[in-house]
């Protein structure tokens, strides 16, 4: 594979820096790389394979000669600049919510629906972080037994809300331990020593009582799995964890799967690691998953309330498989 001209949009952000690291670690064939960001990052430099690369201010002409652009700069930026990239013959792999439910834009998790990449018209959407780790585990079970319903509750790390949110949490921890009233710069309530059942923090609840994050999990799961008949209900919660989203997932299948059958299926699934020996306190932990590219699953058990139900615990690094790694995997397939 010959070297490619690659751009990273939002290069100075949490996910953007992870994208750069993943490109390096996986030896993506880069001939030339451009780091693009907002005016605030003007004058900054970043390292790539030991070389110092200046950060350029993102503009509509930034993509001339670029073959692949990895976007992680928010939906507004993507809506404006992804079409510019596509118009210049570049393929935009976008990490925001801007294009995910557009019927003309493939929404891709390589382990699940890599074939959809071929349908792109210059833009490919990277799914929501909490959806990615769930469907990586659900797809092999769906192929084996047809999932009819999913009930999921998430425990999402603060890094999913960005650098300012992490700073907010650490400052609140210091305030709490010093006996001071914690201030809130990002979330509506303190996240330190707390759980907030509202993601994203800036959104109002929708008319049906769900947040947009919860509806993303419903709609994106159906699109990625290619099966709109799968019923999904989600409750998404922000918890005081630095990195690594965790999920309690309960599924109902058309054909019964035992816990042992599910473990056997998942032990062979791409991108999945089974950690399931509760007798020896072995199960996935966000702390252990941070920095790793796999999705971890454990606590697999048959649901005592449903004859064809399974319950499980799914954990993954939200900045890697949930964002940067998935985007680079898409670029590799391109």
Q: What's the pLDDT tens digit per position in 156-211?
A: 999 999 999 999 999 999 999 999 999 999 999 999 999 999 998 777 799 999 99
**Banded pLDDT at 227 (limits 50, 70, 90):** very high
Q: Indicate the range of 69-83, 86-100, 199-213 predicted with least confidence.
A: 199-213
Helix (H, G, I), strand (E, B), or coil: what is residue 300?
A: strand
Mean pLDDT computed over 291-320: 98
Residue from 75, 66, 88, 65 nearest 8 by CA: 66
Q: What pLDDT shows up at residue 201?
A: 79
Percentage of the chain modeled with pLDDT above 70: 100
Q: What pLDDT shows up at residue 313?
A: 98
Measured on CA atoms in the order 134, 265, 269, 118, is the torsion positive or negative? negative
Under DSSP, the state recorded for 107 is B
- DSSP strands (E only) in the chain: 4-9, 30-37, 45-48, 51-57, 68-71, 91-94, 123-125, 147-156, 231-238, 245-253, 272-274, 295-302, 309-316
Fold category of 131-318 in CATH: Dihydrodipicolinate Reductase; domain 2 (3.30.360)
Could you tell me which residues are beta bridge partners of residue 207?
A: none
Mean pLDDT computed over 76-82: 96
Looking at the annotation, which residues are catalytic?
129, 245
Q: What pLDDT shows up at residue 299?
A: 98
**In the predicted model, is pLDDT for residue 107 greater than 90?**
yes
Fold category of 4-126+324-333 in CATH: Rossmann fold (3.40.50)
Mean pLDDT computed over 81-110: 97
Mean pLDDT computed over 210-217: 95
Distance of CA 204 to the CA centre of its chain: 22
Q: What's the pLDDT tens digit per position in 108-163?
A: 999 999 999 999 999 999 999 999 999 999 999 999 999 999 999 999 999 999 99
Distance of CA 101 to the CA centre of its chain: 15
Domain ranges of the chain: 4-126+324-333, 131-318
For tokens 């599910």, the residue is 262
Helix (H, G, I), strand (E, B), or coil: what is residue 221?
A: helix
Q: What's the pLDDT tens digit per position in 44-68?
A: 999 999 999 999 999 999 999 999 9
Q: What's the pLDDT tens digit per position in 19-49?
A: 999 999 999 999 999 999 999 998 999 999 9
C-alpha span between 316 and 130 (Å, rounded): 9
Mean pLDDT score across all residues of the chain: 96
**In the predicted model, is pLDDT for residue 84 greater than 80?**
yes
For tokens 């699953």, the residue is 297
Q: What pLDDT shows up at residue 79?
A: 96
Q: What pLDDT shows up at residue 204?
A: 76
Mean pLDDT computed over 265-290: 97
Under DSSP, the state recorded for 322 is I
For residue 63, is it left (φ>0), alpha (ψ between -120 and 50) or beta?
alpha
């Amino acid at each position: 594979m010959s070297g490619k001209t690659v751009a990273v949009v939002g290069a100075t952000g949490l996910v953007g820096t992870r994208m750069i690291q993943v490109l390096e670690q996986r030896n993506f064939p880069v001939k030339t790389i451009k780091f693009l960001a907002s005016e605030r990052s003007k004058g900054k430099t970043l390292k790539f394979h030991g070389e110092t690369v200046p950060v350029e201010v993102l503009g509509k002409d930034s993509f001339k000669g670029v073959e692949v652009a990895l976007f992680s700069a928010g939906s507004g930026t993507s809506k404006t600049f992804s079409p510019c990239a596509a118009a210049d013959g570049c393929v935009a792999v976008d990490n925001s919510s801007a294009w995910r439910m557009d019927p003309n834009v493939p929404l891709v998790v390589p382990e699940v629906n890599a074939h959809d990449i071929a349908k792109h018209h210059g833009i490919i959407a990277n799914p929501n972080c909490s959806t990615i780790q769930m469907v990586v585990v659900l797809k092999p079970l769906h192929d084996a037994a047809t999932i009819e319903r999913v009930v999921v509750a998430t425990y999402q790390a603060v890094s999913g809300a960005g650098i300012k949110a992490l700073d907010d949490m650490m400052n609140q921890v210091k305030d709490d331990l010093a006996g001071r009233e914690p201030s809130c710069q990002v979330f509506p309530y303190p996240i330190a020593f707390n759980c907030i059942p509202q993601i994203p923090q800036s959104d109002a609840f929708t008319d049906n009582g769900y947040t947009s994050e919860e509806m993303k999990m419903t709609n994106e799961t159906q699109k990625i799995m290619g099966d709109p008949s799968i019923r999904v209900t989600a409750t998404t919660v922000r918890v005081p964890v630095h990195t690594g989203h965790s999920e309690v997932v309960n599924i109902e299948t058309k054909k019964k799967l035992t816990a042992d059958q599910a473990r056997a299926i998942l032990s062979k699934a791409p991108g999945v690691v089974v950690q399931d020996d509760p007798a020896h306190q072995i199960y996935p932990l966000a702390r252990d998953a941070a920095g790793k590219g796999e999705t971890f699953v454990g606590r697999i058990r048959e649901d005592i309330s449903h004859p064809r139900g399974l319950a499980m615990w799914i954990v993954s690094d939200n900045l890697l498989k949930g964002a940067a790694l998935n985007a680079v995997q898409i670029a590799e397939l391109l």
